[in-house]
Each structure stands twice: as C-alpha cells, then as structure tokens.
C-alpha cells in the first residue's frame, strides 16, 4: 500500500497532507455550515434567499454596499495607478523609500486609521478647524456619519492594495516598446494612452477586482465613520447574528458575499494569474 502511494502521490504531498486536512476542517467546514444554515434556518427552504427580492431593507443595504464598493474601487485604482506609475519611474533609492512607506501602511491597524480620520474630519477636527481658520467655510462640514466619511476611510485603506497588482504589472513591461514608440515619432501623451495604458490593463483589472472584493467585507470603517447611518452588508450580518438572532438571514447574506467573491476571483483569473497579484511569477 505504501509503495502504491509513493508511486502515484508525491512524497511532498504526503508531508503536507495533515496540514491540508486541518485547513479543510477549519475553513471549509464553517463555510459549508454557513451554506447549510442559509437553507435550513429557521426552517428548510429558500425563504431566506426570497428576501433578496421581497425585502426592501436588504435590497437597499446591498445596493448601498455595491455603490460604496464601486466608488471606493474607482478612486483607489486611480490613486493607486498614479502611485504605482511614480514608483516604477522613480530612482531606485526613491523606489525603496516609497515601497517602505507602502508596506508601513499595511502594518497600521484599520482601527487606528479609522479613528485617525475620526479625529481629523470631525466637527472640531483638524480639517474643519483649518478651513474655518483660513475663512474657506463658515460652519464645519459634515464629513462624518455619512457616506462621504465612509468613502474617505475606505479609499485610504484600499489604495495600497490597489498599488501592488499594478506595480507588479508595470515592473514586467518591456520598456523597449515605449522607446520604440517615441523613436517612431509618438509624443509622450500618445505613447502613454496608446501603448503604456493598454499594456497595464491586466494590472488595473486585477487591482479593481481585488479592491472590490475586499471592500465587500468592510465592517469597522462603515461602523465608525458612518455612525450607524451607512449600513453595509457586513455590519447588517453582525446585527442579524448578535441583535435579532436571525442566523438564517445572516447566513444567506454571507453565502451571497461568498458567491460574489468566487465570481470575482473567476473573472480575475481570466485576466491574469492570481499569484501575480501578490508578487508571484508571471510565467
């Protein structure tokens, strides 16, 4: 039996098999349990999924979530593209500095960043006080407890995630193509829009999908900066679990998010290898 296993299964897989089994048990098990709860709580059937078309509250929350995620993705990708472009074309020493700053932003807790924005954009925060001091505004601007505050916090958190896939993509481009375009008489603007931008399309698509997927599960930032007035799916799931105890509805929404993420990953794999998003080989 042992010889048969060695013939058909690599020894490396045998070494990691216990850990793979543990991963399946700890990750796949709860996911399957959520799917099961979505069609069995409070009674077997599809009544939880029927709420997607019968409940105005759930429809509004899903629309709010999708709208905020789309806007967050658009701004994060635009800002991330500029940062990635600057990093690729900067001097090597400056590249290291910019990459270090980018990595530092990953190490700062989302809770710390969110409360920092709360201090900066509050009615008596630095931004409002500064604008009032120079006479730009007469009364404080309501940055918090609305979608504007949530978007500012989410875009700030998501920009580094948008930078990485595009940075990886830009670093793999053949710069001789751009040089050839310039030598053939194209201006810098023409070379960028007709050559460079299309060649970075896979990185842009990967960044957009990555940011959108991560934005779907945002909880802390909408809860703190939205002040309860901007309810997204993740926070609504928490309410269903902890307050109203409607586990079936929470499991249905969690399943919906899971299927949405899987669909996004499938689309993402059509444009580029998923490993390249995290700095893996493109070959």
Separation of alpha carbons 116 and 153, rounded Å: 9
For 75-107, the DSSP string reads HHHHHHHHHHHHHHHS-HHHHHHHHHHHHHHHH
Using CA atoms of 92, 95, 100, 103 in order, give the dihedral in degrees to the nearest 10. -130
170 to 1, 17, 208: CA distances (angstroms): 50, 37, 15
Full-model pTM: 0.83
pLDDT in tens, 107-131: 888 888 888 888 888 888 888 888 8
CA atoms within 13 A on the CB side of 118: 15
Q: Report residue 12's pLDDT band, with 50, 70 and 90 as the boundaries.
A: confident
Q: Report residue 2's pLDDT band, with 50, 70 and 90 as the boundaries.
A: low
Q: Where are the domains of the chain?
A: 58-230
pLDDT at 278: 53
3-state secondary structure of 127: helix
Q: Which CATH class is domain 58-230?
A: mainly alpha
């Amino acid at each position: 039996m042992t010889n048969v296993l060695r013939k058909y299964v690599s020894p490396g897989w045998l070494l990691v098999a216990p850990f793979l089994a543990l991963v399946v048990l700890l990750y796949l098990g709860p996911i399957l349990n959520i799917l099961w709860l979505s069609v069995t709580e409070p009674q077997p059937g599809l009544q939880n999924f029927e709420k997607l078309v019968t409940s105005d509250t759930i429809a509004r929350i899903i629309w709010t979530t999708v709208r905020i995620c789309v806007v967050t993705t658009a701004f994060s990708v635009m800002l991330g593209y500029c940062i990635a472009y600057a990093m690729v074309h900067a001097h090597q020493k400056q590249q290291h500095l910019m990459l270090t700053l980018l990595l530092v932003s990953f190490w700062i807790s989302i809770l710390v960043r969110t409360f920092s924005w709360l201090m900066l954009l509050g009615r008596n925060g630095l931004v409002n006080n500064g604008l009032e001091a120079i006479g730009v505004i007469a009364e404080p601007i309501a940055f918090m407890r609305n979608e504007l505050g949530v978007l500012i916090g989410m875009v700030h958190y998501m920009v580094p995630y948008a930078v990485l896939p595009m940075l990886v993509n830009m670093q793999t481009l053949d710069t001789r193509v751009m040089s050839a375009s310039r030598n053939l008489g194209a201006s810098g603007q023409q070379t960028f829009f007709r050559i460079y931008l299309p060649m970075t399309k896979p990185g842009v698509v990967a960044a957009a999908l990555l940011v959108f997927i991560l934005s779907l599960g945002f909880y802390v930032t909408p809860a703190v900066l939205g002040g309860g007035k901007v309810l997204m799916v993740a926070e609504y799931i928490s309410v269903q679990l902890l307050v109203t105890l409607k586990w079936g509805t929470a499991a249905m929404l969690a399943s919906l998010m899971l299927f949405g993420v899987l669909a996004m990953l499938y689309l993402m794999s059509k444009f580029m290898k998923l490993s390249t998003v995290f700095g893996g080989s493109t070959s």
